[in-house]
Structure 1
Amino acid sequence: MFIAVYRFTVISGKEATFEAAWLKRTQGIYLRLGSLGFRLHRQANGDYIAYAQWHSRETWLNADSEHLDEHYMRARDDVQRCLLSDETLFEWDVVEDYLQIRAFK
């Protein structure tokens, strides 16, 4: 498994547009390009951090968003119009995985 972590700095006042477009775009990446899903977080300073999970680094590297249909490409463009900057912070290969979706009982 492979993880990529991104940081997005959004133009003030465009946060709601960014969040909606980010969700639509990442749904397309999940449905069409083989990701295992994403999480979007907001830092105290207003920047967003996204966590993306993939089957492998190779799948991530070959996930070309140009293969998304027009609906998802519009969302990609909407995301870009909201940004001051974006960057990939980390690229990690998972060594061990014990992330759970339910509390231990």
Structure 2
Amino acid sequence: MYFAMNRFKVVAGSEDEFETVWKNRDSRLHENPGFVQFRLLRGATNEAEGYTAYISHSMWESEEHFIAWTRSESFRHAHKNAGQSKVLYKGPPVFEGYATVIGD
């Protein structure tokens, strides 16, 4: 399994709007070969720095499946309006990818 995650710092007070953007996205992930699961995770609010942490978390059968998705029309469609939400973020998202070493 391969796990692809983007970490977001969402401006404090913009959490509902950020979550609405994600809830209303037409991601079409389920149509892609090798896609297993998606979750949007909400973390703690860092009041001193004025943001709430979020992670978009997708699971794929392999890294190759994930990379194929990032080169697909489905990926371009899912991200076509991403720039409109920049005002909600403190900096760009940070990508992290992980391959399973031990696990079921």
Per the normalisation by structure 2, the TM-score is 0.67
Q: Which residue is 1:103 aligned to?
A: none
Matches within 5 A, 1:63-102: 63-64=69-70, 67-68=73-74, 72-73=78-79, 76-85=82-91, 86-88=93-95, 90-98=96-104
Q: State yes or no: 1:48 paired with 2:54.
A: yes
Structure 2 residue runs without a partner (length 5+): 46-51
Q: What is the distance in 2 between the residues matched to 1:92 and 1:43?
A: 20
What secondary structure, in the 3-state scheme, does the structure 2 residue paired with 1:84 have?
coil
Flag the 1:10–1:56 CA change in 2: closer, same or farther, 3 A. same
Flag the 1:70–1:60 CA change in 2: closer, same or farther, 3 A. closer
Structure 1 residue runs without a partner (length 5+): 99-105
RMSD: 2.9
Flag the 1:58–1:80 CA change in 2: closer, same or farther, 3 A. farther
Question: How far did 1:79 drift?
Answer: 4.3
Q: Which amino acid aligns with 2:94?
A: E
Q: Which residue is 2:27 aligned to?
A: 28
Q: What is the distance in 2 between the residues matched to 1:50 and 1:81?
A: 18
Q: Which residue is 1:101 aligned to?
A: none
Deviation track 1:49-95 (CA, whole Å, cap 9, x = no partner) reads: 2321011101111213761399744553454442223101x321113
Q: What is the distance in 2 between the residues matched to 1:72 and 1:5?
A: 16
Answer whether contact 1:36 1:52 (CA < 8 A) is retained: yes
Question: How far did 1:47 drift?
Answer: 0.7
What secondary structure, in the 3-state scheme, does the structure 1 residue paired with 2:103 have?
coil
Q: Which residue is 1:7 aligned to?
A: 7
